[in-house]
Structure 1
């Protein structure tokens, strides 16, 4: 029923002994370099949405999209307004569960997605719902037979079979599915009517330590303001540490390890822990507006069918106030991807229209939780059932030419064959995601479209460098992560080696031409978690895919 690693293995064997060919797509390297340099300059103040630097970025992208030959993508405008709301919690009471009290930050964190001045959870029954998954296509429902209204769900992170070494099994084993992501677990808890949802943290299963949870889930939290003040969400979403979860289970007369093992079996049923949950905190709300920037090259034959390119234009702004270098300029993340939108648009315009329309979407507020992409996907300018698929570009490496690319989200859809062809033409190979348990495919802008059924590429720069091999590529990646990622050190360097980024843009160009000219509609493989969503979307109207 489910695909194995065979497609990626086949790609890896393609042209394994060849040196990658030089790019032959008409992408202008000088234009790309100038855009990256400009976007990551101090004049743009780190491109934070809701600031003068953010507005300056939007205006600059409008100019570049127009100059590249793109038409306005949103009813005569290049802009799509994205209403945002920022909620900052404070005055956190302890999390009381039964006779135990747990301290905010050290033991638990929580936020409200609801735009209310006060969040109060009082005597809410705590129910252990295993992995919190309702997956009809897999015959799995952790909520079967339980009414969650007014109750608090205690949920395990990742998938039931994440500890398996291979990427095989009901939930793809080590390779995380969307059901393993915390975003899905909160969404499903809300659909089930839960008052609150608490996810149990575990370092390996989450792919990060408790310190990341504590810092990421404290302070201001931004969301798209879709109306309704968030009343369709739970009252509170949060995390508890593994030690806290053990204390909860001990008080219920259960062992956490035994309950994890039970939750990993298909016959698991949710169980009340015989304890009530209470806590409270206040919320300060700020509303503001940012913009996605959208341009389109109309198709020559089927202009009402669309191929997307996505990249986020935002970064972290003034991230170290008072320091000698206080601006997080975001040159790699993601001035490279943003500049690639305009450079590729220019290249496609020079080459000539494809049969289908090519859409270039620069989204806002990725660093706040993929919010611009989520807003576009929930209110799309171009219908999703007429959107063939697309390419996401986030942090294109400038470490030199490579023999490979890193594929995130492979073995999921018919897009695999398009990638195989494009890589063969380049003389490069595909390597699978080195950390499939981390679920990186579900953590960038394309995913807002994916979870609504649209197949999307997320292909990252390779690590097997022509000059120095994998050791050199991994060293360069480690250095970037340690010294520059989400820090003031992510700055433009005139000494960068641009050979690799030009290879990647050549690949993206080839993929877009192929999707833009084929009459086919790639779909998810049978059994994939997004297949039923895509099928329903395509069947929803006579013109659907």
Structure 2
């Protein structure tokens, strides 16, 4: 297979003006792939994930080192500053105004019944919490507890878990994911097995705030959450970053957090309810929220500081249509210092996402080597992805290059180190015309695009492409594949499980000199092909008819 692929690539490279036709999708420009530097990938990943960068948390010395390194590498790759109107950092960055809230001195979570008996739950091991309000102290006392099922208010689906209940000033207990996440297929009110945005924890907290809740606690359950409590713990027990707001988060809940499932079981039982039965009831349309007759209380203090983090931007100007733009995105940040494991408190983020950040530089080198494309290519390293896609959201809402003139893009988040795969896993397959570009690229490379095998994990809503999709820009996001050349699906599943349980959002995500980079470089070839094809065509890909983002794109393009 590998020899056949190489022969095919060589033949196409010699064919000059030959076009690739992807099963009726129309003619796409053929591109050849120059040498992609494995040394660049290794060197930048190794450096960014070293302890010297302290886990690359926004607003730290690790950010300063990351910005300096990426500017140096973008310059060396032959890019131009991507924000020339800014006099900061030589025009290579965009300020992203953030608020850092470092919570401390947590009380236990106290839940009291009508009989006056109180249950106490420990911070970190049994619950975690934080706030989106810029308040020096959060002190919630005697807050009525209400179980609101999945906490969804979706008028277009005739679904409202808050119907008939007033939760203003109360604490809501919420299930993670969608009501139909256990459905085997993709049919159901919320996409069946595939998570919708209604299933994401970010939505749960947003809706609780709209309903006026004082506190929102999500019940952690590993299968529907898609990660273990260790990930919740490491992600929520350090400083949290928020986008700056005019009202200091006054319209948000006072406390957002998670509780262990066995904690939720005890809380429900104290309110005369069985959690398993309540979870089953919450899956049905017409579910009614349940007031538990309990009072909740929690307090903690906050150190609050406003600071600017930075997106890092380089551009390769187009030769024919320089005012049309193709995006490559990857987030440079990680968690910084986190919950220690065996004395190690630095979450280095080697795979997540030093690899994607390194890929921006390797791709910039390759595109420069290939010569100026027809359209301009923007290389965007964004901040604060780990805090809720804040850097990409800020750029999308305050674009340096107009979104109406942004053709589409490619997002890269955490390359797989498990070796080359026969297939590739496409996150959000079937949503846009960009599938045809990826299909064509995969065909040349001898690989098969497949739908994500775990759509219930909601990966489409967990990386930076989503910030652009929400505002209409088609984006491609794929991963290395779950059918490895060596070991097949079994080996891929084992490697993915090992990473998720032992390294994801943990100090164990460190650079390893013994890594096999062949799969990474194979994936990088696909990223190059898709981006180059977009930059060498005059077509404007769109979302498919009926997609949730189609109308936004059409309106944007009409107003260009």
Could you tell me which residue of structure 2 aligns to residue 501 of structure 1?
520
Listed as ranges, the gaps of 5+ residues in structure 2 are 11-31
Q: 2:555 aligns with which of 529, 539, 542?
A: 539
| 1:79 and 1:292 in contact (8 A); partners too | yes
| 1:166 and 1:174 in contact (8 A); partners too | yes
Could you tell me which residue of structure 1 aligns to residue 14 of structure 2?
none
Could you tell me which residue of structure 2 aligns to residue 6 of structure 1?
none
| Cα RMSD, aligned residues only | 3.4
Q: 2:106 aligns with which of 72, 91, 96?
A: 91
Could you tell me which residue of structure 2 aligns to residue 50 of structure 1?
59
C-alpha separation in 2, matches of 1:474 and 1:247: 34
TM-score (norm 2): 0.82
**Structure 2 vs 1, CA of residues 250 and 509 (structure 1 numbering), >3 Å: closer, same or farther?**
same
Deviations 1:100-122 (A, max 9, x none): 43423354332111110111223
- The alpha-carbon deviation at position 541 of structure 1 amounts to 8.0
Deviations 1:461-507 (A, max 9, x none): 134333444445455555655665543562252x5443322221111
**Structure 2 vs 1, CA of residues 461 and 22 (structure 1 numbering), >3 Å: closer, same or farther?**
farther
Q: Does 28-37 or 83-92 show the bigger shift? A: 28-37
Could you tell me which residue of structure 2 aligns to residue 522 of structure 1?
542
| 2:234 and 2:339 in contact (8 A); partners too | no
- Name the SS of the counterpart of 1:162 in structure 2: coil
| 2:111 and 2:294 in contact (8 A); partners too | no
Equivalent residue runs for 1:77-476 within 5 Å: 77-84=91-98, 85-99=100-114, 100-105=118-123, 106-317=125-336, 329-474=348-493, 476=495
Could you tell me which residue of structure 2 aligns to residue 491 of structure 1?
511
| 2:132 and 2:249 in contact (8 A); partners too | yes
**Structure 2 vs 1, CA of residues 395 and 166 (structure 1 numbering), >3 Å: closer, same or farther?**
same
The yes-or-no answer on 1:65 pairing with 2:77 is no
- The alpha-carbon deviation at position 337 of structure 1 amounts to 1.3
- Name the SS of the counterpart of 1:539 in structure 2: helix
| 1:326 and 1:488 in contact (8 A); partners too | no
TM-score (norm 1): 0.84
Q: Does 215-224 or 158-167 show the bigger shift? A: 215-224
- The alpha-carbon deviation at position 335 of structure 1 amounts to 2.6
- The alpha-carbon deviation at position 46 of structure 1 amounts to 4.5
Could you tell me which residue of structure 2 aligns to residue 7 of structure 1?
none
| 1:96 and 1:278 in contact (8 A); partners too | yes
C-alpha separation in 2, matches of 1:363 and 1:413: 23
Deviations 1:346-390 (A, max 9, x none): 322333444443221112233444333333334333344443332
C-alpha separation in 2, matches of 1:108 and 1:478: 24
| 1:176 and 1:438 in contact (8 A); partners too | yes
**Structure 2 vs 1, CA of residues 540 and 409 (structure 1 numbering), >3 Å: closer, same or farther?**
closer
- Name the SS of the counterpart of 2:297 in structure 1: strand
C-alpha separation in 1, matches of 2:113 and 2:343: 49
Count of residues in Structure 1 that have an aligned counterpart in Structure 2: 525
| 2:101 and 2:302 in contact (8 A); partners too | no
C-alpha separation in 2, matches of 1:130 and 1:319: 31
C-alpha separation in 2, matches of 1:113 and 1:200: 19
Q: Does 38-47 or 111-120 show the bigger shift? A: 38-47
C-alpha separation in 1, matches of 2:229 and 2:43: 40
**Structure 2 vs 1, CA of residues 312 and 27 (structure 1 numbering), >3 Å: closer, same or farther?**
farther
